[in-house]
Amino acid sequence: MSDVEHHVADTTFDAMTGGADRLTTRATDASLATEPPETLRVMADALERLGFDVAAMLARSGLQRSDLDDPDALVPCIALQQLLGAACAERRRPNLGAHVASVVPIGAFPLLDYLVITTDTVAGALEQLERYFSLVAAPCTLKVVPGEKATRLLVTGVVNPFLAQFQTSMVVHHLREETNGALRVSHVSLVEQPEDPRDLERLLGCAVRAPAAWNGVEFPLDAMPIPLRRRDPALRRVLEGHAASVVRATSRSHESIVDAIRGVVVTRLAHGVPDVDGIARQLSMAPRTLQRRLAAEGVSYQRIVDDVRREAANRLLADPSLAVNQIGYLLGFSEPSAFHRAFKRWHDATPQEYRQRQDRATAR
């Protein structure tokens, strides 16, 4: 392995799984810590598209490809380090971080991706990236810096060569796709010299300046008003309300077990709420322990789910652009009738009656 590859293999775990300690605070040994499989699944899918034998790589961590398909599962945090380290060791491609990002599809990180692509312009997309990037478990942050001649998106925080290339490549490829190829990038800036600068410039379709003082992407000012092809203000408002709930839930430093469960449930509503065993796995505790802690606080798991759904329903019904049946789907109800029954129980009124009542109250 080259010096750069050794550096990637040694530091990828810290850089790419920096959020895992929030989910596994009881684990003190990194080899024992676990996390949801989202990031590992995204990387595994991308490496498969690039021709790597991901099944063999995962087997070294005691995992099968199917282990990554259950969103409620937990995988060892160190598995990501081992997967990317193995890929680097094969030396199939230079600039692996950028190549991996180039084949990650939009929607791989659903909430963040759709918050970005439903904005009106490139400028709005960059603002959304800066505002909501904490939704993904990355140790770095993104910061928009407007200037007189250009706008920069900085990648700051815990950033190694792999992560710097991955984040900058992801931004360039996704925004270029969402502008139907109209986006022009001034250059990509990297603190560390890439393994093959010409390969990286061909992949990104722009100049690469390295070594430089900052990691990120510089855009010309005339790129800022370029419209995005899937701009959707109504959907964006819904997603922003949902994202705000997620951010609030995950930002508490001393949350109760009820707060922790609410934080998990609110991120899963549209995909179907997991049962209590699935919640326990995500919180890294035994189901009996979770039930015991809930009993100590005098609340049931179903009551928490019910409260989260009721609060979300009230918020979504305030948006007149959303049909009632759409709201039921966003709340994870499989049938409109199930949503109507639940809402009648909450408010002794149908969703339509509740919406009309709120409209009348607002008009006064």
Specify the pLDDT at position 283.
75
Q: Binning pLDDT at 50, 70 and 90, where does residue 328 land?
A: confident
Please tell me which residue, 328 or 98, carries the higher pLDDT value.
98
Contact 176, 123 (CB under 8 A): no
Find the range with the poorest average confidence among 8-22, 45-59, 271-285: 8-22
Average of per-residue pLDDT values in the chain: 83
Specify the pLDDT at position 251.
53
Contact 229, 164 (CB under 8 A): no
Mean pLDDT of the 256-274 span: 76
Find the range with the poorest average confidence among 49-53, 67-71, 264-268: 264-268
Specify the pLDDT at position 255.
56
**146 secondary structure, DSSP code:** E
User: What are the DSSP calls for 268-281, one per residue?
Assistant: HGGG----HHHHHH
Mean pLDDT of the 101-115 span: 91
Specify the pLDDT at position 175.
97
Report for 11-15, 163-167, 245-249: range of highest mean pLDDT:
163-167
- Contacts with 112 (C-beta within 8 Å, 6 or more apart), sequence order: 129, 132, 133, 135, 136
Q: Where are the domains of the chain?
A: 3-92, 110-223, 233-363
Q: How far apart are CA 134 and CA 273, in angstroms?
A: 22
Is the previous residue joined to 225 through a cis bond, with omega within 30 degrees of 0? no
User: What are the DSSP calls for 40-89, one per residue?
Assistant: HHHHHHHHHHTT--HHHHHHTTT--GGGGS-TT--EETHHHHHHHHHHHH
Mean pLDDT of the 347-362 span: 88
Model confidence at 104: pLDDT above 80 = yes
Mean pLDDT of the 190-216 span: 95
Overall fold of domain 233-363 = Arc Repressor Mutant, subunit A (1.10.10)
Determine what percent of the chain is predicted with pLDDT higher than 90: 46
pTM: 0.65
